[in-house]
Protein backbone atom coordinates (compact mmCIF):
# COMPACT_ATOMS: atom_id res chain seq x y z
CA UNK A 1 0.00 0.00 0.00
CA UNK A 2 1.13 3.55 -0.74
CA UNK A 3 0.32 7.05 0.43
CA UNK A 4 -2.45 7.02 -2.17
CA UNK A 5 -4.19 4.07 -0.53
CA UNK A 6 -7.92 4.80 -0.43
CA UNK A 7 -9.73 4.16 2.84
CA UNK A 8 -13.41 3.30 3.14
CA UNK A 9 -15.42 3.38 6.36
CA UNK A 10 -18.78 1.63 6.68
CA UNK A 11 -21.00 2.64 9.59
CA UNK A 12 -22.56 5.71 11.15
CA UNK A 13 -22.43 4.99 14.90
CA UNK A 14 -20.09 6.07 17.66
CA UNK A 15 -17.21 3.80 16.66
CA UNK A 16 -17.45 4.78 13.02
CA UNK A 17 -17.47 8.44 14.05
CA UNK A 18 -14.41 7.96 16.26
CA UNK A 19 -12.56 6.13 13.49
CA UNK A 20 -13.49 8.84 10.98
CA UNK A 21 -12.00 11.41 13.37
CA UNK A 22 -8.73 9.50 13.70
CA UNK A 23 -8.38 8.64 10.01
CA UNK A 24 -9.17 12.13 8.73
CA UNK A 25 -6.44 13.66 10.90
CA UNK A 26 -3.72 11.88 8.89
CA UNK A 27 -5.36 10.83 5.64
CA UNK A 28 -7.21 12.69 2.90
CA UNK A 29 -10.24 11.54 0.97
CA UNK A 30 -11.85 9.15 3.45
CA UNK A 31 -14.83 7.39 1.82
CA UNK A 32 -17.50 7.16 4.53
CA UNK A 33 -20.77 5.25 4.13
CA UNK A 34 -23.68 6.19 6.36
CA UNK A 35 -27.08 4.64 5.67
CA UNK A 36 -29.19 7.71 6.45
CA UNK A 37 -29.20 10.43 3.77
CA UNK A 38 -30.25 13.05 6.32
CA UNK A 39 -27.18 12.27 8.45
CA UNK A 40 -24.94 12.49 5.39
CA UNK A 41 -26.31 15.93 4.50
CA UNK A 42 -26.09 17.09 8.13
CA UNK A 43 -22.39 16.21 8.37
CA UNK A 44 -21.70 17.91 5.05
CA UNK A 45 -23.35 21.11 6.23
CA UNK A 46 -22.54 21.22 9.95
CA UNK A 47 -19.38 19.05 10.09
CA UNK A 48 -20.36 16.75 12.93
CA UNK A 49 -22.50 13.64 13.40
CA UNK A 50 -25.92 14.68 14.79
CA UNK A 51 -26.46 11.34 16.51
CA UNK A 52 -23.08 10.24 17.94
CA UNK A 53 -20.08 12.01 19.49
CA UNK A 54 -21.47 15.41 18.55
CA UNK A 55 -18.37 17.20 19.86
CA UNK A 56 -16.23 15.72 17.06
CA UNK A 57 -15.81 18.26 14.26
CA UNK A 58 -14.81 17.13 10.77
CA UNK A 59 -12.99 18.82 7.91
CA UNK A 60 -15.48 18.31 5.05
CA UNK A 61 -12.68 18.46 2.49
CA UNK A 62 -11.25 15.21 3.90
CA UNK A 63 -14.48 13.22 3.78
CA UNK A 64 -16.32 11.76 0.82
CA UNK A 65 -19.72 10.91 2.32
CA UNK A 66 -22.24 8.60 0.68
CA UNK A 67 -25.32 6.52 1.47
CA UNK A 68 -24.40 4.16 -1.38
CA UNK A 69 -22.37 1.32 0.14
CA UNK A 70 -21.41 -0.10 -3.26
CA UNK A 71 -19.88 3.24 -4.25
CA UNK A 72 -17.76 3.35 -1.09
CA UNK A 73 -16.56 -0.24 -1.54
CA UNK A 74 -15.67 0.29 -5.20
CA UNK A 75 -13.63 3.41 -4.42
CA UNK A 76 -11.63 2.04 -1.47
CA UNK A 77 -8.59 -0.21 -1.11
CA UNK A 78 -8.90 -0.77 2.64
CA UNK A 79 -12.36 -1.03 4.15
CA UNK A 80 -13.21 -0.70 7.84
CA UNK A 81 -16.62 -2.09 8.79
CA UNK A 82 -17.89 -0.48 12.00
CA UNK A 83 -21.51 -1.62 12.09
CA UNK A 84 -23.18 -3.46 15.00
CA UNK A 85 -23.11 -7.17 14.25
CA UNK A 86 -26.91 -7.40 14.15
CA UNK A 87 -26.98 -5.01 11.16
CA UNK A 88 -23.89 -6.06 9.18
CA UNK A 89 -25.69 -8.45 6.84
CA UNK A 90 -28.39 -5.90 6.00
CA UNK A 91 -25.86 -3.08 5.58
CA UNK A 92 -23.89 -5.05 2.96
CA UNK A 93 -26.98 -6.29 1.14
CA UNK A 94 -26.59 -6.15 -2.64
CA UNK A 95 -22.80 -6.49 -2.60
CA UNK A 96 -21.22 -9.45 -4.40
CA UNK A 97 -17.91 -11.29 -4.18
CA UNK A 98 -16.50 -9.39 -7.15
CA UNK A 99 -17.04 -6.09 -5.30
CA UNK A 100 -14.43 -7.16 -2.74
CA UNK A 101 -11.79 -8.51 -5.12
CA UNK A 102 -8.38 -7.16 -4.08
CA UNK A 103 -9.83 -5.34 -1.07
CA UNK A 104 -8.51 -5.50 2.49
CA UNK A 105 -11.30 -5.55 5.09
CA UNK A 106 -10.84 -4.75 8.77
CA UNK A 107 -13.69 -5.32 11.19
CA UNK A 108 -14.51 -3.03 14.09
CA UNK A 109 -17.45 -5.36 14.82
CA UNK A 110 -17.50 -6.79 18.35
CA UNK A 111 -20.13 -9.48 17.91
CA UNK A 112 -21.32 -12.52 16.00
CA UNK A 113 -23.24 -12.09 12.74
CA UNK A 114 -26.61 -13.54 13.84
CA UNK A 115 -27.91 -14.61 10.40
CA UNK A 116 -25.09 -17.14 10.05
CA UNK A 117 -23.88 -17.40 13.69
CA UNK A 118 -20.35 -16.60 12.56
CA UNK A 119 -17.52 -14.38 13.71
CA UNK A 120 -16.93 -11.45 11.31
CA UNK A 121 -13.75 -12.88 9.75
CA UNK A 122 -15.48 -16.11 8.78
CA UNK A 123 -18.50 -14.16 7.54
CA UNK A 124 -16.41 -11.98 5.21
CA UNK A 125 -14.48 -15.02 3.98
CA UNK A 126 -17.55 -17.18 3.27
CA UNK A 127 -19.95 -14.46 2.12
CA UNK A 128 -17.60 -12.47 -0.10
CA UNK A 129 -14.67 -14.80 -0.77
CA UNK A 130 -12.12 -12.49 0.85
CA UNK A 131 -8.88 -14.38 1.70
CA UNK A 132 -8.16 -14.55 5.42
CA UNK A 133 -4.84 -12.77 4.79
CA UNK A 134 -6.88 -9.74 3.70
CA UNK A 135 -9.20 -9.76 6.73
CA UNK A 136 -8.39 -8.14 10.07
CA UNK A 137 -9.96 -6.84 13.25
CA UNK A 138 -9.49 -3.63 15.23
CA UNK A 139 -9.39 -4.36 18.99
CA UNK A 140 -9.17 -2.23 22.12
CA UNK A 141 -8.83 -1.43 24.91
CA UNK A 142 -10.56 1.68 23.68
CA UNK A 143 -13.90 3.48 24.00
CA UNK A 144 -15.12 5.78 21.24
CA UNK A 145 -16.11 8.42 23.79
CA UNK A 146 -12.51 8.79 25.01
CA UNK A 147 -11.26 9.01 21.42
CA UNK A 148 -13.63 11.96 20.97
CA UNK A 149 -12.05 13.60 24.03
CA UNK A 150 -8.55 12.78 22.69
CA UNK A 151 -7.60 10.86 25.80
CA UNK A 152 -4.62 8.57 25.33
CA UNK A 153 -5.97 5.30 23.94
CA UNK A 154 -4.73 2.02 22.46
CA UNK A 155 -5.75 -0.13 19.50
CA UNK A 156 -4.52 -3.47 18.18
CA UNK A 157 -4.79 -4.48 14.51
CA UNK A 158 -4.99 -8.27 14.25
CA UNK A 159 -4.43 -9.84 10.83
CA UNK A 160 -2.77 -13.03 9.61
CA UNK A 161 -0.87 -10.91 7.06
CA UNK A 162 1.38 -8.73 9.20
CA UNK A 163 1.95 -6.08 6.53
CA UNK A 164 -1.77 -5.35 6.30
CA UNK A 165 -1.97 -4.93 10.07
CA UNK A 166 1.05 -2.59 10.03
CA UNK A 167 -0.47 -0.49 7.24
CA UNK A 168 -3.68 0.18 9.14
CA UNK A 169 -1.84 0.62 12.43
CA UNK A 170 0.14 3.45 10.87
CA UNK A 171 -3.02 5.05 9.49
CA UNK A 172 -4.67 5.02 12.92
CA UNK A 173 -1.66 6.17 14.91
CA UNK A 174 -1.99 9.74 16.23
CA UNK A 175 -0.67 11.78 19.16
CA UNK A 176 -3.44 10.34 21.37
CA UNK A 177 -3.80 6.89 19.77
CA UNK A 178 -1.13 4.22 20.19
CA UNK A 179 -1.35 1.16 17.94
CA UNK A 180 0.23 -2.26 17.70
CA UNK A 181 -0.31 -5.43 15.68
CA UNK A 182 -1.08 -9.11 16.17
CA UNK A 183 -1.39 -12.19 13.96
CA UNK A 184 -4.12 -13.74 16.14
CA UNK A 185 -7.12 -12.82 13.98
CA UNK A 186 -9.52 -15.47 15.25
CA UNK A 187 -8.51 -15.25 18.90
CA UNK A 188 -8.82 -11.47 18.90
CA UNK A 189 -12.28 -11.64 17.33
CA UNK A 190 -13.56 -14.25 19.75
CA UNK A 191 -12.09 -12.36 22.72
CA UNK A 192 -13.84 -9.18 21.54
CA UNK A 193 -17.12 -11.10 21.52
CA UNK A 194 -16.63 -12.78 24.90
CA UNK A 195 -15.64 -9.61 26.75
CA UNK A 196 -19.07 -8.15 26.04
CA UNK A 197 -20.70 -11.12 27.79
CA UNK A 198 -18.40 -10.69 30.78
CA UNK A 199 -19.15 -6.96 30.86
CA UNK A 200 -22.85 -7.79 31.16
CA UNK A 201 -21.94 -10.02 34.11
CA UNK A 202 -20.01 -7.15 35.72
CA UNK A 203 -23.00 -4.88 35.24
CA UNK A 204 -25.44 -7.41 36.71
CA UNK A 205 -23.22 -7.76 39.78
CA UNK A 206 -22.96 -3.99 40.11
CA UNK A 207 -26.73 -3.64 39.90
CA UNK A 208 -27.16 -6.27 42.60
CA UNK A 209 -24.80 -4.40 44.92
CA UNK A 210 -21.70 -6.57 44.72
CA UNK A 211 -18.60 -4.51 45.43
CA UNK A 212 -15.15 -4.02 43.96
CA UNK A 213 -13.72 -7.06 45.72
CA UNK A 214 -16.14 -9.42 43.99
CA UNK A 215 -15.81 -7.58 40.68
CA UNK A 216 -12.06 -8.19 40.77
CA UNK A 217 -12.68 -11.90 41.38
CA UNK A 218 -15.22 -11.95 38.55
CA UNK A 219 -12.83 -10.37 36.04
CA UNK A 220 -10.04 -12.74 37.10
CA UNK A 221 -12.36 -15.69 36.50
CA UNK A 222 -13.52 -14.18 33.19
CA UNK A 223 -10.03 -14.00 31.67
CA UNK A 224 -9.39 -17.60 32.71
CA UNK A 225 -12.70 -18.64 31.14
CA UNK A 226 -11.84 -16.69 27.99
CA UNK A 227 -8.46 -18.37 27.70
CA UNK A 228 -10.02 -21.81 28.18
CA UNK A 229 -12.53 -21.16 25.38
CA UNK A 230 -9.95 -19.67 23.00
CA UNK A 231 -7.53 -22.55 23.50
CA UNK A 232 -10.27 -25.08 22.77
CA UNK A 233 -11.74 -23.63 19.60
CA UNK A 234 -8.64 -21.92 18.16
CA UNK A 235 -5.34 -23.38 19.45
CA UNK A 236 -2.74 -20.62 18.98
CA UNK A 237 0.18 -19.35 21.01
CA UNK A 238 -1.27 -16.21 22.61
CA UNK A 239 -0.84 -14.32 25.87
CA UNK A 240 -4.28 -13.33 27.15
CA UNK A 241 -2.66 -10.75 29.44
CA UNK A 242 -2.00 -8.56 26.39
CA UNK A 243 -4.16 -5.45 25.80
CA UNK A 244 -6.32 -6.97 23.04
CA UNK A 245 -7.58 -9.60 25.51
CA UNK A 246 -7.26 -8.60 29.17
CA UNK A 247 -7.11 -4.86 28.50
CA UNK A 248 -10.25 -4.88 26.37
CA UNK A 249 -12.02 -7.07 28.94
CA UNK A 250 -11.20 -4.69 31.79
CA UNK A 251 -12.22 -1.48 30.05
CA UNK A 252 -15.49 -3.04 28.87
CA UNK A 253 -16.21 -4.54 32.28
CA UNK A 254 -15.46 -1.40 34.33
CA UNK A 255 -16.04 1.68 32.18
CA UNK A 256 -19.03 3.99 32.55
CA UNK A 257 -19.06 4.15 28.73
CA UNK A 258 -19.62 0.40 28.37
CA UNK A 259 -23.08 -0.24 26.94
CA UNK A 260 -22.81 -3.94 27.83
CA UNK A 261 -22.05 -3.16 31.45
CA UNK A 262 -24.95 -0.69 31.45
CA UNK A 263 -27.28 -3.34 30.05
CA UNK A 264 -26.19 -5.79 32.76
CA UNK A 265 -26.54 -3.13 35.47
CA UNK A 266 -30.15 -2.58 34.46
CA UNK A 267 -30.83 -6.31 34.66
CA UNK A 268 -29.29 -6.37 38.13
CA UNK A 269 -31.54 -3.48 39.15
CA UNK A 270 -34.64 -5.43 38.18
CA UNK A 271 -35.32 -4.39 34.59
CA UNK A 272 -36.65 -7.09 32.30
CA UNK A 273 -34.46 -7.90 29.30
CA UNK A 274 -36.98 -6.28 26.97
CA UNK A 275 -37.22 -3.11 29.05
CA UNK A 276 -33.43 -2.82 29.34
CA UNK A 277 -32.98 -3.18 25.58
CA UNK A 278 -35.62 -0.53 24.93
CA UNK A 279 -33.86 1.86 27.30
CA UNK A 280 -30.49 1.39 25.59
CA UNK A 281 -29.64 4.19 23.12
CA UNK A 282 -27.14 1.89 21.35
CA UNK A 283 -26.78 -1.83 20.70
CA UNK A 284 -25.44 -4.03 23.51
CA UNK A 285 -23.54 -6.60 21.46
CA UNK A 286 -23.31 -8.97 24.42
CA UNK A 287 -27.06 -9.62 24.27
CA UNK A 288 -26.70 -11.37 20.90
CA UNK A 289 -23.27 -12.82 21.71
CA UNK A 290 -24.54 -14.61 24.82
CA UNK A 291 -26.87 -16.84 22.81
CA UNK A 292 -24.40 -17.37 19.97
CA UNK A 293 -21.59 -18.42 22.31
CA UNK A 294 -23.99 -20.71 24.16
CA UNK A 295 -24.95 -22.38 20.86
CA UNK A 296 -21.32 -22.69 19.74
CA UNK A 297 -20.26 -24.15 23.07
CA UNK A 298 -22.82 -26.93 22.80
CA UNK A 299 -20.33 -28.43 20.36
CA UNK A 300 -17.12 -27.74 22.27
CA UNK A 301 -18.45 -28.21 25.84
CA UNK A 302 -15.97 -25.81 27.46
CA UNK A 303 -16.58 -25.07 31.15
CA UNK A 304 -17.94 -21.48 31.00
CA UNK A 305 -19.86 -20.74 34.20
CA UNK A 306 -19.97 -16.95 33.73
CA UNK A 307 -21.20 -17.09 30.14
CA UNK A 308 -23.68 -19.79 31.14
CA UNK A 309 -24.98 -17.65 33.99
CA UNK A 310 -25.60 -14.75 31.60
CA UNK A 311 -27.47 -17.06 29.23
CA UNK A 312 -29.60 -18.28 32.12
CA UNK A 313 -30.46 -14.71 33.13
CA UNK A 314 -31.06 -13.28 29.65
CA UNK A 315 -32.69 -16.15 27.80
CA UNK A 316 -33.98 -18.54 30.48
CA UNK A 317 -35.19 -15.61 32.62
CA UNK A 318 -33.67 -16.95 35.83
CA UNK A 319 -33.48 -14.33 38.58
CA UNK A 320 -30.14 -12.46 38.59
CA UNK A 321 -30.15 -12.67 42.41
CA UNK A 322 -30.32 -16.46 42.29
CA UNK A 323 -27.97 -16.92 39.35
CA UNK A 324 -25.20 -14.68 40.68
CA UNK A 325 -25.43 -16.24 44.13
CA UNK A 326 -24.87 -19.67 42.53
CA UNK A 327 -22.00 -18.27 40.46
CA UNK A 328 -20.41 -16.60 43.50
CA UNK A 329 -20.61 -19.81 45.49
CA UNK A 330 -18.88 -21.74 42.72
CA UNK A 331 -16.13 -19.12 42.43
CA UNK A 332 -15.56 -19.00 46.18
| pLDDT (tens place) for every residue of the chain, 332 residues total | 555 799 999 999 999 999 999 999 988 889 999 999 999 999 999 999 999 999 999 998 999 999 999 999 999 999 999 999 999 999 999 999 999 999 999 999 988 998 888 999 999 999 999 999 999 999 999 999 999 999 999 999 999 999 999 999 999 999 999 999 999 999 999 999 999 999 999 999 999 999 999 999 999 999 999 999 999 999 999 999 999 999 999 999 999 999 999 999 999 999 999 999 999 888 889 999 999 999 999 999 999 999 999 999 999 999 999 999 999 999 86
Distance separating alpha carbons of residues 220 and 213, to the nearest angstrom: 11
* CB contact set of 201 (below 8 Å; sequence gap of 6+): 218, 222, 253, 264, 306, 309, 310
pLDDT score at 201: 98
Task: Please give the order of strands across the beta sheet that includes 30-33.
Answer: 63-66, 30-33, 7-10, 78-81, 104-107, 135-139, 153-159, 177-182
Distance separating alpha carbons of residues 87 and 283, to the nearest angstrom: 10
pLDDT score at 222: 98
**Is-contact 285 107, C-beta < 8 A?**
no
299 exposure class (CB count in 10 Å sphere: 0-12, 13-18, 19+): exposed
Distance separating alpha carbons of residues 65 and 39, to the nearest angstrom: 10
Q: Where are the beta strands (DSSP E) in the chain?
A: 7-10, 30-33, 63-66, 78-81, 104-107, 135-139, 153-159, 177-182
DSSP state of 239: -
Is the entire prediction scored with pTM above 0.85?
yes
pLDDT score at 257: 92
Distance separating alpha carbons of residues 322 and 316, to the nearest angstrom: 13
pLDDT score at 332: 67
Q: How far is residue 221 CA from its own chain's centroid?
A: 21
**Is-contact 135 159, C-beta < 8 A?**
yes
**Domains of the chain listed by start with CATH number:** 7-183 (3.40.50.720), 187-331 (1.10.1040.10)
- Strand pairing report for 153-159 and 135-139: antiparallel
Amino acid sequence: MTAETRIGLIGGGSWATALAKILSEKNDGINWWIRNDETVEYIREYHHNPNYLRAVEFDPDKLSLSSNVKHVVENSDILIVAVPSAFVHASLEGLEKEDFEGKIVFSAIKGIIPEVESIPARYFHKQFGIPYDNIGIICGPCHAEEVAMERLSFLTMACMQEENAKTLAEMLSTRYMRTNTSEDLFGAEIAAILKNIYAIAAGVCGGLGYGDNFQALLMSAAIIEMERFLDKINPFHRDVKEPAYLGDLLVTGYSKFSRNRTFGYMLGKGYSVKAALLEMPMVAEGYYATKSVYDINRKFEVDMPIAQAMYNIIYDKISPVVEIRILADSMG
